[in-house]
Structure 1
Amino acid sequence: MGVPIIEAPSEAEAQCAEMAKGGLVYGLATEDMDSLTFGAPRVIRHLMASQSKELPIQEFDRSVVLSELGLSDDQFIDMCILMGCDYCGTIRGIGAVRALQLIKKHGSIEAILGELDPVKFPVPEPFPHKESHAYFKEPEVTKSADLPPLKWTDPDEEGLVQFLVNEKSFNEQRIRAAVGRIKAHKGKANQGRLENFFTVLPKANPTPKPDAKGKGKEDAKRKGAPAGGAAGGAAKKGKMGVGGGKKK
């Protein structure tokens, strides 16, 4: 289909996080929040969600998350491990809220384990939190600098037909129509911006407006009325008070 593919040596989320940290991609479109634990600078949820579910697209900025939680990188990883991850069991009775409270109070899982009531919060065996933490910090990935360039190419229509139609029994007409839409989309130019059609000039200083008071006086002189206008003239002649009546 012309989409560039990178094969991860281990966890896909870890490899994608490495690519995002290396500036090769904007962020990770995934529902797996372990991506933030692996260090992805941005995670985007619900990007591929069905329209019928009406789920809003959410973007999580890791630096903002750490700042608002008031956690260091290591503390954030330990909190995620306490909340539950793929590499370590969970402690019954400790969810997201309690995990954050404990990390902010004690600073690390190691310190927390020394203070937990083993009856109220039984720790499973084994509980490889140190190994999990180390893997989140240094996962098995191909470094961004060692990856081939990400290039989008034209879809291989006949190759897709061979695979999807002849081998997987998809409808050929639908496959060719889909390939046609991909090709048509690739041929479209990006929407132009106004700057592409007009030269942007610095904002000029506005022309000063004539003095409104002075203009009123000149008009009054030409008409033979008092300078303050008809209402102003009436006020001067009758010495109107605040209440509207004439002063005695």
Structure 2
Amino acid sequence: EGLIPIYVFDGQPPEQKREELERRAKIKEEAEKKLAKIKEGGGSVEEARKYSQIALKLTNDMVDESKKLLDAMGIPWIQAPSEGEAEAAYINIKGLSWAAGSQDYDSLLFGAKRLIRNLTITGRRKLPGKDVYVEIKPELIELDILLKKLAITREQLIDIGILIGTDYNPGGVKGIGVKTAYRIIKKYGSLEKAIERGEIQKTLISFDINAIRKLFLNPAVKDPDVSLELREPDENRTVEILVQLHDFNEDRVKNGIQRLIKAGREAKAAGRQTGLDQWF
């Protein structure tokens, strides 16, 4: 029947994520250097576009303004105390949402009952590092069905994730891919037992298994302190943000607001959620 989005913003990341964040920052830094060289006359337009996209950074001002826009549009949002993925999974576990929407499989490790991937308006996704778009379709993964099909527990799924690599231990255990990780955990039941039996060399484990497991099983989350219901949009405020501050086309914005108001009213009248395409 469609959906009503609830946006979740990241909070303070766990200390264990520092290595991954430093890796991402380094990639952006290298992209900025390459972009500077291109601007000096050392590259093509395609290369400039590529490195510009990689070098983009989400600032606190951007986040704050996004929240103001969502408020103006009447769309609910939550500020997570830590990982946004964990908070999205938590409100799903609590029954406050139908599913978590993300490209990140970590949502399942955090315990989301359902995960929707490839959730887009256009039905297309840009390939990393290429000016090429491919068609994609929404993908629904239900945690209980997945665990039953694999004949494992959520704790074991987390151990598989740790072997492959998560944001808290990038790269995982050297030489172990998805199939091998699944075979090992199915055979031994846990990462610790696999190490005890000599299947995995202890010297290859350079991270705290229990600390990472705890981040997925008991993450920093909170009960929402705001209504997650759709509200009537504030047309004047929305126009102020999009048109006056960011030079969007006024007619297009006002038409979009009217579609949003209509879709919201129809959804409430019908007692169901509304299609994503009606928001834009």
TM-score (norm 2): 0.61
- Alpha-carbon contact 1:157-1:179 (below 8 Å) kept: yes
SS in 2 for 1:9: coil
Say whether 1:43 aligns with 2:43: no
Equivalent residue for 1:190? 270
Does 2:165 match 1:111? no
Which portions of structure 1, spanning 4 or more consecutive aligned residues, are displaced by more than 6 angstroms? none
How far residue 49 of structure 1 moved from its aligned partner, in angstroms, is 5.9
Distance, in Å, in 2 between the alignment partners of 1:159 and 1:110 is 55
Q: Secondary structure at the match of 1:88?
A: coil
Deviation larger for 82-91 or 50-59: 50-59
Identity %: 33
CA contact (8 A) 1:66 1:72 kept: yes
The answer (yes or no) to whether the contact 1:49–1:55 under 8 Å persists in 2 is no
For 1:100 and 1:11, the matched residues in 2 are separated by 26
- Counterpart CA distance in 2 for 1:73 and 1:186 is 37
Q: What is residue 99 of structure 2 aligned with on the other side?
A: 27
Cα gap change, 1:191/1:77 in structure 2, threshold over 3 Å: closer, same or farther? closer
1:13 paired with 2:95, answer no
Query: 3-state SS of the aligned residue for 1:20?
Result: helix
Q: Which runs of 5+ in 1 are unaligned?
A: 193-248
Partner of residue 234, structure 1: none
Q: Secondary structure at the match of 1:170?
A: coil
Change (3 A) 1:191 1:18: closer
Quick one: which amino acid aligns to residue 112 of structure 2? A
Following superposition, the deviation at residue 107 of structure 1 comes to: 1.4
Identify, as 1 or 2, the structure richer in helix.
2
Q: 1:87 aligned to 2:168? A: yes
Of the two, which has the highest radius of gyration?
1
Structure 1 residue 171 corresponds to structure 2 residue 252: no
Instruction: Tell me whether 1:2 sits opposite 2:78 in the alignment.
Output: no
For the Cα contact (< 8 Å) 2:110–2:216, is it kept in 1? yes
Distance 1:117 1:17, change over 3 A: closer
Q: Give per-residue Cα distances to partners, 1:73-124, cap 9 Å, x unaligned.
A: 2111111111221111311211110000010112111222341465xx9625
Structure 1 pair 95/172, CA: closer, same or farther in 2 (3 Å)? same
Gaps of 5+ in 2: 1-72, 125-133, 273-280
Contact 2:230 2:264 in 1 (8 A): no
The residue type paired with residue 37 of structure 1 is L
Tell me the equivalent position of 2:139: 58
Length, aligned pairs only: 187
The question of 1:97 aligning with 2:179 is answered yes
Q: Is the 8 A contact 2:119 2:138 kept in 1?
A: yes
Matched residue, 2:212: 132
Aligned residue type for 1:88 = N
Give the TM-score, by structure 1 length. 0.69
Alignment RMSD (CA, Å): 2.2
2: distance between equivalents of 1:186 and 1:117? 54
* Alpha-carbon distance in 2 for matches of 1:152, 1:191: 12
**Bigger RCO of structures 1 and 2 (CA < 8 A, at least 6 apart):** 2
Moved more, 42-51 or 67-76: 42-51
